[in-house]
Structure formats: structure tokens, C-alpha cells
Amino acid sequence: MNNNSNNNNDCNDKLFFSIWRNKFLLCEIQRHHGLYKIKKIILVNKSMDQL
């Protein structure tokens, strides 16, 4: 019974850290995407014919 409980705890720990890592990475990607959108400014000084 004790061995089964340890295996279950290990699985729960792996699942928790997998979810936590994915959530952390998602937040980092969204943060960087937001920074990219803020910095992305297109400035065109030429007419369409000159481009």
C-alpha cells in the first residue's frame, strides 16, 4: 500500500510541475509577444511607387 501511495505522489508531482511549467512558459510567451507588439512600429517615408 505504501509503495502504491509513493508512486501516486510521484505521478502527482510530475503532473503538477508539468502543468506549472507549461503555464509559466505560456505567460512568458504572452509577455514577450506583448512587448513585441508595443515595439513594432512601421514607419514608411516613401510612396508606394518608391517602395
Tell me the three cell numbers of residue 30. 504572452
CA atoms of 8 and 32, how far apart (whole Å):
36
**19 sits in which H/E element:** helix 2-39
**Domains held by the chain: number:** 1
pLDDT of residue 47: 67
CA atoms of 18 and 25, how far apart (whole Å):
11
Say whether pTM exceeds 0.75: no
Task: Look up the domain containing 17 and give its range.
Answer: 1-51
pLDDT tens, position by position, 14-47: 999 999 999 999 999 999 988 887 777 666 677 6
Cα–Cα nearest to 24, from 13, 16, 12: 16
* Band (51; pLDDT cuts 50, 70, 90): low
CA within 13 Å, CB half, 22: 6
